[in-house]
Amino acid sequence: MGQPFTWRSAQGVGVHLLVWLGAILCAVAVPFAIFALLSRGYRRPAEFAIDERRFIASSSGVFAGSQAIMCMFFAGGLVATERVPNRDAMRLAEFGWAWLVSAILLSVFVAAAVAFLVVRRPQLLLDSEGLTIRRLLGSTRLAWADLAPGGPLPPARRKQRHLQLFRKPPLGYPNYVPAAAIPIGWLEIDPAYIAAAIRLYVENPEERSTIGTAEGLARLKAGQSTMPQQGLSVGS
């Protein structure tokens, strides 16, 4: 008595390793399985949110929730523990600065989990002057006049993660201007709808004044019937 289970077991080291790996797998798989059941049947809406004369597409709840689960998994795994002497039990490590390091790491990952759920990045913001791509770290601002007409093209694959925005090179600049990428795979809005809406505002400057208004949202919604074939077509 007084020894851990794997020490008292008559099985070999390989079995002990499998038990340890199984416990780690369950710690990840069980939360994700519960989350998958709760989010089963989820479909991304084809509609922007309106905020302060802007259209906004925030990160999807599925992406935010999965990232929060991973952060909490790492938060628990990085807490330093040690075996209680002469007992088949564990406790928080009491050597050196282990408790302080554990508290700091725990706080960082818990804060990151909360941030994923509250801040909801990445985001895409559209306004009358252009669009802003907010990533987990950093952001990119593009004016409508900077984007090449005819794009972006609708996603070619069902689970495409990024949408390429091709930019027009400045006058007198012969080199290729790198495209900007929208992380559509992690946004709350349907990717084909995003592509069609951006293409509409690039090619129709007169429509930009309706961005961030109920009228503009209604006009986008009215054009969804032709979106799969031609992109959004806004009626007169």
Residues 137 and 205 in one domain: yes
Whether 47 is covered by a domain: the verdict is no
- The confidence score (pLDDT) of residue 14 equals 66
Neighbours of 216 (CB within 10 A): 23
Residues 152 and 85 in one domain: no
pTM of the model: 0.69
Q: How far apart are CA 190 and CA 188, in angstroms?
A: 7
Per-residue pLDDT of the chain (236 residues; tens, 9 = 90+): 455 555 555 555 566 677 767 777 777 778 778 777 776 666 666 678 888 889 998 888 788 888 888 888 888 878 877 777 777 677 777 777 777 888 888 899 999 999 888 888 889 999 999 999 998 888 999 999 889 888 788 777 777 888 888 888 776 666 677 888 898 888 888 888 898 899 999 989 999 999 999 999 888 887 665 544 444 544 43
Residues 167 and 220 in one domain: yes
Q: What is the DSSP letter of 200?
A: H
Residues 222 and 156 in one domain: yes
Q: How far apart are CA 227 and CA 162, in angstroms?
A: 19
Residue at which a domain ends, from 99, 118, 137: 118
Sign of CA dihedral 47, 52, 57, 61: negative
- The confidence score (pLDDT) of residue 236 equals 38
Q: Which residues contact 106 (CB under 8 A, 6 or more apart)?
A: 75, 78, 79
Q: Are 211 and 197 in contact (CB under 8 A)?
A: no
Q: Are 232 and 196 in contact (CB under 8 A)?
A: yes
Range of the domain at 175: 123-230
Residues 111 and 127 in one domain: no
- The confidence score (pLDDT) of residue 153 equals 80
Summary count for the chain: helices (H), strands (E): 7, 9
Residues 128 and 107 in one domain: no
Q: Which residues pair with 139 in a beta bridge?
A: 134
- The confidence score (pLDDT) of residue 230 equals 45
